[in-house]
Structure 1
Amino acid sequence: MTLSTAPPPTALAALDAELVALLGARNVSGDLRARERASVDGARMSPIITELLPLGVADLVAWPTTAEDVGRVVAAAVRHGVPVTPRGKGTGNYGQAIPMAGGLVLDLSRARAVVEVGDGWITAEAGTPMVTLERAAAETGQQLWMYPSTAQSSLGGFLGGGSGGTGTIAHGSNDMGFVLALDVVHATGSAELVHVEGDEAQRFVHNYGTAGIIARATVRLEPLQEWRGLYASFPDFRGALSVLRELGRLEPLPRLVSADTPEITATLPADPAFPAGRSSLRMIADVRSVEAATAVIEGAGGRIEDVRDGAQVVLTLSMLSYNHPIEWLQKSRPGVYFHVEVSGDALVERIDDVHAVYEGGLLHVEAGHTVPIGMLAGVYRSPEQVRDGIRALNALGVGVHDPHQWNVDFELGRTIETARTTDPLGLLNPGKLNPDYDGPTKGAIR
């Protein structure tokens, strides 16, 4: 499947007129500022991708307000031969939502209805913020089975992107049972919402809308727990690492155990629970395990800084997980740091070796489903430096995912096979489904 060429002006004009008739003038725009805003995500978090920007600019932007309108808009774009790039809240970090072939950006953020909450499940439209789903579930005594690290991300973006999210201690990543059913739009010229469940639904997870655009989703809920935000600190990072895995195994399992070096801690938003010069450890802990967690932390020489309750605390701590602490580090010294996603017991057992791989190496680490996971930051020099460091990390027993690329890298072969039927003209998010692409750090070992 090849990258679609820019659509001709006549096709764009015809599509513009049709979309205005369908959605109303307020939900369609060809204004340059609107097109530019819709053509960027958080790709500047990657200095490697930043060197390549801009990757593309939309010719049109449309904001459907219902799942059914998503189908109608995609069908219209296909009839006119215009590429379609789906977009949620724009919280992705690596260019997956950038319209590399121009065309139409389909901004789903206004299609945000919660359709129904049932026993163990919730159905909502693709633009619904994840925090809205969590609140709707809580009203029925339930919670999301998988809570995002970016709570304002949209449901469709969370599922279609490369996200994992807090909750991974208990359940693994979001392709391991979170998705129950999807209503998907294919690029065949039909406005039909295709309903898929179970294994069939997994074909449309983590592929950036290249095989079909998620218009509505049903995801798993579980019984509501009473959470506490536990803030602790240690004199150094090694102390926090010493308890990470034990805290991650406490019953009931925590939603999050997250730790940062003193250097990263110093760049986080100001909080009395982040004392200067100390390493921060944070937990979203079940209220029933707070006493046990306190004993573990204090027994290892740590100090409890605060224990807080309320939904806002859970949201705040989630927003200080995954790659968010590295983003704060990057803001402290713009243009200096890059990061790679890492996993494995070596993050705890060989931390000095891990830090030494990259100049200025600093690790954000979390208790994972099976092994510690994290983000390793370093001072950026070149794509080759990143590639060579990945090889060195692999030699230490560290699993690495190189995030500095926009190509689908989850079940790529399956997605290509699916797209042959669901996107025969190659109009869905062109440029993101290339079997020969190996990224700006070509040759890196994953």
Structure 2
Amino acid sequence: MTDTLQKTDWRAIAAELGPVEVIDEPVLIKKRSRDFFWYSPILNAQLKTCFGDLVARPAKREDLAHCLAVAYRHDLPVVLRGGGTGNYGQAVPLCGGLIVETTAMNRILEIGEGYVRVEAGALMADINAALIPEGWEMAMFPSTQDIATIGGFVSGGSAGIGSIANGALREKGNIISLKALSVEAEPQERIFDAEEALQVHHAWGLNGAITEVTLRTVPTRDWIGCMATFDSYRACYAAGYALATSETIGRKLCSAVDARIVDYFPRLDGHVPKGRHLLVALVPREDMEAYRSLIAAQGGTVDLALSDADRQERGIPHVFEFAYNHTTLQVLKADRTATYQQYGVGDPSDADAVARLGETVGNDVWQHHEFARVDGRIVAFDLPIIWFTDEARLRQIDGAYEAAGFTVADAHTFHVEGGGLKNADYRHLAWKKRMDPKGLLNPGKSRAWETVRHLSADDIEAMAKD
């Protein structure tokens, strides 16, 4: 593939891609060759010199099909890109080639009873803005909704604001269907139903170019952004678990944040007291009295409870900008020596175990937990701030978490198998063989693909059943 690219006449490719818009200015190509991999110093060292050769911006499905046909004809690697908000280098071209940015494919096609159908490049903030006047909202969205596309979220995301109520993205019913194009001489569009769509979900664009997504929506509510503080992190976490498991209080977000991290939130200065641990939540207005009672019973103080209009008037960001990986971003804005990791809590009800682990791992690990729902049960995962020294120390921290019964979903690898969703399941690679027979989509991102690419799709699928 490298030899082919060295001989490629990119000016001729750009002309052949017409009338699709192309970007050939080196500075802009480099910018679109990056995502948020720099959250990881390990990935930053590995990926910072990886760039594409040309960018195409299709505006409709036919344009995207044309781009894929040109790539197939010339054996060009293709990396699909939305807003570039992924953290693992999903949108970074390891082998150069063509970057296809889908942000111009952004139409909201249909809003119906409990669903929305949109093009892959639609921004999630725009989708929510269209849904709410119709009485609906997205079942979940990431904290980066203002720049993240729905195709990118389905390809590379897994949970977000709303997952505490509606489960992870892979939960049954959240993805209703999607459409994706193959990479062939004449690309074909295939409809993936809810079950098959899970093979395209979180596959990093390896096995098809998503064109449309149909997602579950839920009735919108009058959400109040809440911030409560606590003297200890144990109490903060325990209150988060109590809120997450409450049978009487609705919630769309529930995040516990160590006080040392909160010090890196300058836009909360004067709004929450210094030195206290923070519980961030979204609670419906009708449940606020019960929420305040719960926080008081857990030993906390409600410092902020704002409607969206109140929040805007006071110049405070959305509460979800202090949750999920926006928390990491807030720290990285001030100090790039920080990083993070992804850990699953073995028993989310055991606040003592969480507190003990916080004391065990040391002062270079600052805890931050998100609560979500998976398979109908409440789970918690830690996205701690880790003050990075070297990989050996990072793996020592991983070992301490594992010894305490926590799981590790490594945020410091650019292989799709590293994150936990595609580890031992070859079905998504069987679809890659069908949809991308030359292996042009996002090459280098799957270790397992290199061992099975010579097999037929049926043989690859059979491996998943063994």
User: What TM-score results when the alignment is normalised by the length of structure 1?
Assistant: 0.91
C-alpha displacement at 1:190, in angstroms? Answer: 2.0
Contact 1:67 1:126 in 2 (8 A): no
C-alpha displacement at 1:240, in angstroms? Answer: 1.1
How has the CA–CA distance of structure 1 residues 352 and 300 changed in structure 2, closer, same or farther, with 3 Å as cutoff?
closer
C-alpha displacement at 1:340, in angstroms? Answer: 3.2
Question: Is 2:368 the partner of 1:364?
Answer: yes
Alignment partner, residue 158 of structure 2: 163
Contact 1:364 1:374 in 2 (8 A): yes
Corresponding residue SS for 1:290: helix
Q: 1:429 pairs with 442, 445, 462, which one?
A: 442
Provide the C-alpha distance between the structure 1 equivalents of 2:323 and 2:132, rounded to a whole number of angstroms: 22
C-alpha displacement at 1:312, in angstroms? Answer: 9.1
Q: Deviations over 1:191-210 (max 9, x none)?
A: 33222212122211101100
C-alpha displacement at 1:184, in angstroms? Answer: 0.2
Provide the C-alpha distance between the structure 1 equivalents of 2:25 and 2:280, rounded to a whole number of angstroms: 44
Letter in 2 for 1:174: L
Corresponding residue SS for 1:85: strand
C-alpha displacement at 1:142, in angstroms? Answer: 0.7
Alignment partner, residue 201 of structure 2: 205
Within 5 Å, which residues of 2 pair with 1:2-13? Answer: 7-10=5-8, 12-13=10-11
Alignment partner, residue 276 of structure 2: 278
Letter in 1 for 2:305: V
Corresponding residue SS for 1:86: strand
Corresponding residue SS for 1:305: strand
Provide the C-alpha distance between the structure 2 equivalents of 1:262 and 1:63, rounded to a whole number of angstroms: 43
Provide the C-alpha distance between the structure 1 equivalents of 2:6 and 2:53, rounded to a whole number of angstroms: 10
Provide the C-alpha distance between the structure 2 equivalents of 1:50 and 1:366, rounded to a whole number of angstroms: 25
Q: Deviations over 1:198-238 (max 9, x none)?
A: 21222111011000011111111111122111121122322
How has the CA–CA distance of structure 1 residues 5 and 377 changed in structure 2, closer, same or farther, with 3 Å as cutoff?
farther
Alignment partner, residue 411 of structure 2: 403
Q: 1:216 pairs with 202, 212, 220, which one?
A: 212
C-alpha displacement at 1:268, in angstroms? Answer: 1.5
Provide the C-alpha distance between the structure 1 equivalents of 2:334 and 2:150, rounded to a whole number of angstroms: 30
Alignment partner, residue 288 of structure 1: 286
Letter in 2 for 1:264: I
Corresponding residue SS for 2:430: helix
How has the CA–CA distance of structure 1 residues 292 and 352 changed in structure 2, closer, same or farther, with 3 Å as cutoff?
same
Contact 1:357 1:392 in 2 (8 A): yes
How has the CA–CA distance of structure 1 residues 278 and 168 changed in structure 2, closer, same or farther, with 3 Å as cutoff?
same
Letter in 2 for 1:297: I
> Sequence identity of aligned pairs in percent?
29
Alignment partner, residue 36 of structure 1: 30
Question: Is 2:170 the partner of 1:175?
Answer: yes
Within 5 Å, which residues of 2 pair with 1:15-414? Answer: 15-19=13-17, 21-23=18-20, 27-152=21-146, 153-176=148-171, 177-250=173-246, 251-271=248-268, 272-310=270-308, 316-345=318-347, 348-355=351-358, 356-369=360-373, 370-409=378-417, 410-411=421-422, 412-414=425-427
Corresponding residue SS for 1:277: coil
Deviates more, 1:255-264 or 1:266-275: 266-275
Corresponding residue SS for 1:435: helix
Letter in 1 for 2:446: L
Deviates more, 1:145-154 or 1:341-350: 341-350
Contact 2:47 2:92 in 1 (8 A): no
Contact 1:4 1:426 in 2 (8 A): no
Give aligned pairs, total: 431
Contact 1:4 1:427 in 2 (8 A): no
Provide the C-alpha distance between the structure 2 equivalents of 1:338 and 1:366, rounded to a whole number of angstroms: 14
How has the CA–CA distance of structure 1 residues 430 and 312 changed in structure 2, closer, same or farther, with 3 Å as cutoff?
farther
Q: CA RMSD in A?
A: 2.1
Provide the C-alpha distance between the structure 2 equivalents of 1:22 and 1:436, rounded to a whole number of angstroms: 33
Letter in 1 for 2:257: D
User: What TM-score results when the alignment is normalised by the length of structure 2?
Assistant: 0.87
Corresponding residue SS for 1:270: helix
Q: Deviations over 1:169-205 (max 9, x none)?
A: 1222101131111110111222332222121222111
How has the CA–CA distance of structure 1 residues 140 and 95 changed in structure 2, closer, same or farther, with 3 Å as cutoff?
same
Provide the C-alpha distance between the structure 1 equivalents of 2:3 and 2:182, rounded to a whole number of angstroms: 20
C-alpha displacement at 1:6, in angstroms? Answer: 5.4
Unaligned runs of 5+ in 2: 451-466
C-alpha displacement at 1:68, in angstroms? Answer: 2.8
Provide the C-alpha distance between the structure 2 equivalents of 1:311 and 1:221, rounded to a whole number of angstroms: 23
Contact 2:338 2:385 in 1 (8 A): no
Provide the C-alpha distance between the structure 2 equivalents of 1:95 and 1:377, rounded to a whole number of angstroms: 19
Provide the C-alpha distance between the structure 2 equivalents of 1:10 and 1:85, rounded to a whole number of angstroms: 17
Corresponding residue SS for 1:240: helix
Contact 1:160 1:206 in 2 (8 A): yes
How has the CA–CA distance of structure 1 residues 436 and 18 changed in structure 2, closer, same or farther, with 3 Å as cutoff?
closer
Provide the C-alpha distance between the structure 2 equivalents of 1:201 and 1:53, rounded to a whole number of angstroms: 29
Corresponding residue SS for 1:384: helix
Contact 1:184 1:212 in 2 (8 A): yes
How has the CA–CA distance of structure 1 residues 10 and 376 changed in structure 2, closer, same or farther, with 3 Å as cutoff?
closer
Provide the C-alpha distance between the structure 1 equivalents of 2:103 and 2:179, rounded to a whole number of angstroms: 16
Corresponding residue SS for 2:134: coil
How has the CA–CA distance of structure 1 residues 37 and 416 changed in structure 2, closer, same or farther, with 3 Å as cutoff?
same
Contact 1:340 1:377 in 2 (8 A): no
Q: Deviations over 1:133-167 (max 9, x none)?
A: 11111121111112222212100000000331121
How has the CA–CA distance of structure 1 residues 55 and 348 changed in structure 2, closer, same or farther, with 3 Å as cutoff?
farther
C-alpha displacement at 1:55, in angstroms? Answer: 4.7
Contact 1:5 1:101 in 2 (8 A): no
Q: Deviations over 1:107-144 (max 9, x none)?
A: 11121111111111111111111111111111211111
Provide the C-alpha distance between the structure 2 equivalents of 1:351 and 1:220, rounded to a whole number of angstroms: 33
Contact 1:4 1:430 in 2 (8 A): no
C-alpha displacement at 1:354, in angstroms? Answer: 2.0
Which one has a larger percent helix, Structure 1 or Structure 2? 2
Letter in 2 for 1:205: H
